[in-house]
Amino acid sequence: MAERPEDLNLPNAVITRIIKEALPDGVNISKEARSAISRAASVFVLYATSCANNFAMKGKRKTLNAGDVLSAMEEMEFQRFISPLKEALDAYRREQKGKKEASEQKKKDKDKRTDSEEQDKSREDDEDDERMEEEEQNDEEEVDN
């Protein structure tokens, strides 16, 4: 757990970026208002985490999952956020699946290249062996002559 209450605050840069994205262009926000929003966001995250943890504990789990967070949002009476959260979660899962598939494809391609390189090397070795045998035969023939 955090040693000081300030350790639980969200980073100011992140809060500032979120605020700027939420407000129309040309609207400014005071430092005091930004600080209040930062504290409120931190309290919200801590409360949502605590509620989600309760759902995980009821399930006799130590790891919070997305379902716990969605259940916590419902318990906290933030039903209107559930649908956007599910959409964001689905998008995240699709992105992760795409990354995993790309990684697996990259690995397969690398394995194919490695196999192909090994086959090429094996062919080269075989050709070298054949050349050496021919040279030895030629040398023996020259010695015999």
Q: Supply the DSSP symbol for 7.
A: G
Say how many Å lie between the first and final Cα of the chain, rounded. 91
pLDDT at 145: 54
Kindly give the confidence (pLDDT) of every residue in the chain, 145 residues in length, as a single tens digit, with 9 standing for 90 and above.
Answer: 566 766 778 888 899 999 999 999 999 999 999 999 998 998 999 999 999 999 999 999 999 999 999 999 999 999 999 999 999 999 999 999 998 888 888 888 877 777 677 777 777 777 777 777 777 777 666 666 5
pLDDT at 140: 66
Q: What pTM was computed for the model?
A: 0.62
On whether the CB atoms of residues 73 and 48 are closer than 8 A, the answer is yes
Count of residues in the chain = 145
pLDDT at 1: 59
pLDDT at 23: 93
DSSP letters, 9-30, are SPPHHHHHHHHHHHSPTT----
